[in-house]
Amino acid sequence: MKTIPYPVSEKRVMWDSLHSDEIWPAYYLSKLMRSGIITTKELEGKHVLDIGCGASFGRSSKSDYIENSHFIAQLAELYVGCDISGYVLAEARKIISVYPLKEKCALVLADAKELPFADGSFDTVIMIDTLYLLGNDAFSALKECTRVSRGQIIITAFHSDGLDPTIPTIPSQKGKEYGTITQKSWSPIEQIFFTKEQMSLILDELGLNGKIFVLTNHEYDSLRSSEESYPSATVNELIVVKASKRP
Ligand SMILES: C[S@@+](CC[C@H](N)C(=O)[O-])C[C@H]1O[C@@H](n2cnc3c(N)ncnc32)[C@H](O)[C@@H]1O
């Protein structure tokens, strides 16, 4: 597999510094499997790319949920995780060094909007809990997901319904509104939120056929295990996209 060095950028430094405060594990795949939206078929025996992978190779200490990277690695033939943060990948490497499935795992430092992989390199491309953090780069990142996939693309995003009206929206720099971009005054991150219709137009523009599921917070929360004491969804309904290229 060809990899290219990824230069130190302002964005990379920002993510390193955010992770040095906190690394968020997420259990979305485990939960979506419980809801029937994701099945083992999309991952079993596949070469899988996990974009914005973080360091999710564990299990919840409070429930039976499995963290996303571990969930994928258990089923896939090859797990490749990529992330913009060298800090978080160093943490992931520490965990992987004693990980029973380490032989089939690789980690790559890369920006989602410019992936260092050849066209059609992966059977399944996954981007969980990451798209909303990409702001104006979200469409380029989705284009890259499409380019490097030869099969399924599975993405989670957040719906723009229920966005706090006191948070200012900022205009899209690309001259095209793919979603609503907001930035909290205290945060360095531009976040992007979508309606189902916007997501459907994006899939169309990328030449993808797929299903868009919108889970209300209530539906999403109902997938939570009773032992979990922290809130799972943030403030908006969850969007789950399962798509593949049009034949
Ligand atoms: C909320 S975490 C989700 C981690 C993991 N997918 C999970 O579900 O546990 C978002 C991750 O996206 C990464 N990230 C942010 N911007 C990125 C970009 N432009 N390219 C690649 N990764 C990015 C962050 O460093 C962080 O690890």
The number of distinct structural domains making up the chain is: 1
Q: How many CA atoms, within 13 angstroms, populate the side-chain half-sphere of residue 157?
A: 34
Among the listed residues 162, 148, 228, 223, the one whose alpha carbon sits nearest the alpha carbon of residue 194: 162
Classify residue 93: in a domain, yes or no: yes
Distance 51 CA to ligand 1 centre (A): 7
Instruction: Quote the pLDDT of residue 223.
Output: 64
Classify residue 184: in a domain, yes or no: no
Instruction: Quote the pLDDT of residue 227.
Output: 46
When mean pLDDT is compared over 26-30, 67-71, 128-132, 236-240, the highest value belongs to 128-132
CA distances from 221 to 17, 131, 242 (A): 30, 20, 20
**Strand, helix or coil for residue 89:** helix
Share of the chain above pLDDT 90, in %: 49
Candidate from 33, 83, 137, 192 with most ligand 1 atoms within 8 A of CB, to mutate? 83
pLDDT tens digit sequence for 45-92: 999 999 999 988 777 666 667 888 989 999 999 999 999 999 999 989
Closest atom, ligand 1, to C-alpha of 112: 20
Q: What is the average pLDDT score of the chain?
A: 85
Closest atom, ligand 1, to C-alpha of 56: 9
Candidate from 80, 133, 156 with most ligand 1 atoms within 8 A of CB, to mutate? 133
Q: What is the arithmetic mean of pLDDT over 3-26?
A: 71
Rounded Cα gap, residues 40 and 30, in angstroms: 10
Distance of CA 208 to the CA centre of its chain: 18
Ligand 1-lining residues (CB < 6 angstroms): 15, 24-26, 28, 51-54, 56, 68, 83-85, 88, 111-112, 128-130, 133-134
What confidence category does residue 239 fall into, taking pLDDT thresholds of 50, 70 and 90?
Answer: very high
Classify residue 177: in a domain, yes or no: no
Classify residue 141: in a domain, yes or no: yes
Instruction: Quote the pLDDT of residue 241.
Output: 96
Instruction: Quote the pLDDT of residue 73.
Output: 93
More confident residue, 203 or 9: 203
Domain extent, residue 91, equals 10-163+196-245
**Whether residue 115 has pLDDT greater than 80:** yes
When mean pLDDT is compared over 12-26, 31-45, 200-214, the highest value belongs to 200-214
Report which protein residue has its CA nearest ligand 1's atom 7: 26
**Whether residue 128 has pLDDT greater than 80:** yes
Distance 168 CA to ligand 1 centre (A): 23
Classify residue 222: in a domain, yes or no: yes
Q: CATH number of the domain that 150 lies in? A: 3.40.50.150
Report which protein residue has its CA nearest ligand 1's atom 9: 26
When mean pLDDT is compared over 29-38, 152-161, 231-240, the highest value belongs to 152-161
Instruction: Quote the pLDDT of residue 24.
Output: 64
pLDDT tens digit sequence for 218-237: 776 666 554 444 444 445 68
Instruction: Quote the pLDDT of residue 23.
Output: 64
52: left (phi over 0), alpha (psi -120 to 50) or beta: left
Share of the chain above pLDDT 70, in %: 83
More confident residue, 246 or 3: 246
Distance 247 CA to ligand 1 centre (A): 30
Classify residue 71: in a domain, yes or no: yes
